[in-house]
Structure 1
Amino acid sequence: MAAAYVYMRRRHQNIRRNRLLRDYDNPLDYLDEFDIIRRYRLSRPMIIDLCRRFDNDLHRPTMRSRALPVSLQIMAALRFFATGSFQLVNADVHNISRSSVSRCVRDVTQCLVNVCNQHIIMPTDAASLEIIKRGFYEISDFPNVVGAVDGTHVRIKSPPVDEHIFVNRKNFHSINVQGVCDYNLKFLNIVSQ
């Protein structure tokens, strides 16, 4: 009985399966502006600008099946950043595989890291610092604040090399990320290790 089961299982594994070609729908095509901001935390024009900016880096020519469109890659990563939910949930929302979501998050994050120094700048002149201090004071009557700091651990898959470096105090693999924002929630500094 067990031999028959093993034979049938091996035979089933050797059967060639037809490739499934999915129709990747673009959430920008069917969501209204309110839903886009609620789900992805950025407006439609900002997402389109990211797609245009990162098109060369994220476009994948392939001879196999169809590659994920740049807009879907960016939106999958933005959804992950916005919700912090598991990649499997994000994969179900966008009708793609969990490994595709992982690659999207990795690639879009790398694109953002490559351009972040052009947009994220900690002010050093006295006038800019005074504006930020005044903004925080108007919000919460807290004097002499020049930034709000927070950090998080972004869960990652176990890297093949130097795995022990990425294990955090809660015993899972992560990258430590710290951000500093001003009173308008604009990033002034980001450090990820």
Structure 2
Amino acid sequence: MVQGHYDNLMEELSTEAPDLYRNFTRIDKDLFNEIVEWVTPMIQKKVTFWRKPIEPGLRVAITLCFLATGDSYKSPQYSFCVAHNTISHIVPETCRAIVAAFRDEELQVPQTPEAWQEVARGFEEQWNFPHIIGAIDGKHIRLCNPPKGDTHYFNYKKFYSMVLLAVADPSYKFLCVDVGAIGSESDGGAFAQT
């Protein structure tokens, strides 16, 4: 069955409107294909007598769109024609595969004073901000309250969450990422725990 955004919309956008493809997936077609290539060995399932597995490209597309919107697992089920309970397994598994595939290549924290000075030089030259070694921001990732979570995960926005905190260089490349601080923790508290 060839239906849904992956088989129709994404294919059409990649050939006719690359800027809209990038807006939809948040990356261009070449990077999408590279991610699929790298994570396929980790997320590809076997064909069995009972079912044909969901292909790795569709798994990556679902994951990227889910992460880009921050919506629930139920929303992408309509656009990708995959049940929400299946999506709830696909997204975490694909995220783990992406991290495993790209962690050493993409997340390189500067290790020497000279490397940090290079980052600071980039902020000054590109953005006219002297003496800066990273741009930091956080995002609350909505979740169900974990068992025995009590109110620890309940944040100031009035929902349960975990905090994703990231530091980027002047070219928007992540220098470090921390995920897992409880939602009730302040930004400063989450930063202190990294």
The question of whether the paired residues in 2 share the 8 Å contact of 1:166 and 1:175 is answered with no
State the match for 1:175 in structure 2.
Answer: 162
Please state if 1:30 is matched with 2:12.
yes
> Aligned equivalents of 1:105 and 1:87: distance in 2?
9
Please state if 1:189 is matched with 2:181.
no
Normalised TM-score (structure 2) = 0.76
State the match for 1:53 in structure 2.
Answer: 38
The Cα of 1:163 is off from its aligned counterpart by 4.3
The Cα of 1:41 is off from its aligned counterpart by 1.1
The Cα of 1:123 is off from its aligned counterpart by 0.9
Structure 1 SS opposite 2:155? coil
The Cα of 1:190 is off from its aligned counterpart by 0.7
Structure 1 SS opposite 2:74? helix
The question of whether the paired residues in 2 share the 8 Å contact of 1:151 and 1:178 is answered with yes
| Amino acid in the other structure paired with 2:122 | G
The Cα of 1:28 is off from its aligned counterpart by 4.4
Structure 2 SS opposite 1:168? coil
The Cα of 1:172 is off from its aligned counterpart by 3.6
> Aligned equivalents of 2:163 and 2:49: distance in 1?
37
State the match for 1:124 in structure 2.
Answer: 111
Match of 2:59 among 73, 78, 83: 73
Please state if 1:92 is matched with 2:92.
no
The Cα of 1:178 is off from its aligned counterpart by 0.9
Structure 2, unaligned stretches of length 5 or more?
181-194
* CA spacing shift, 1:164–1:112, aligned 2, 3 Å: farther
Q: Percent identity?
A: 19
> Aligned equivalents of 1:55 and 1:113: distance in 2?
13
Match of 2:132 among 141, 145, 166: 145
> Aligned equivalents of 2:85 and 2:149: distance in 1?
19
The Cα of 1:162 is off from its aligned counterpart by 4.3
Spell out, residue by residue over 1:62-90, the C-alpha distance to the aligned partner (whole angstroms, 9 max, x if none): 44333211101101111122222333222
> Aligned equivalents of 1:163 and 1:63: distance in 2?
41
| Amino acid in the other structure paired with 2:101 | V
Spell out, residue by residue over 1:102-134, the C-alpha distance to the aligned partner (whole angstroms, 9 max, x if none): 222111111123234302011122333222212
The Cα of 1:46 is off from its aligned counterpart by 1.1
State the match for 2:184 in structure 1.
Answer: none
> Aligned equivalents of 1:86 and 1:108: distance in 2?
16
* CA spacing shift, 1:162–1:95, aligned 2, 3 Å: same
Question: Over aligned residue pairs, what C-alpha RMSD do you find?
Answer: 2.4
| Amino acid in the other structure paired with 1:101 | I
Normalised TM-score (structure 1) = 0.76
The question of whether the paired residues in 2 share the 8 Å contact of 1:152 and 1:177 is answered with yes
Structure 2 SS opposite 1:66? coil
> Aligned equivalents of 2:58 and 2:141: distance in 1?
21
Structure 1, unaligned stretches of length 5 or more?
1-21
The question of whether the paired residues in 2 share the 8 Å contact of 1:166 and 1:174 is answered with no
Once the two structures are overlaid, the 10-residue window that deviates more, 140-149 or 182-191, is 140-149
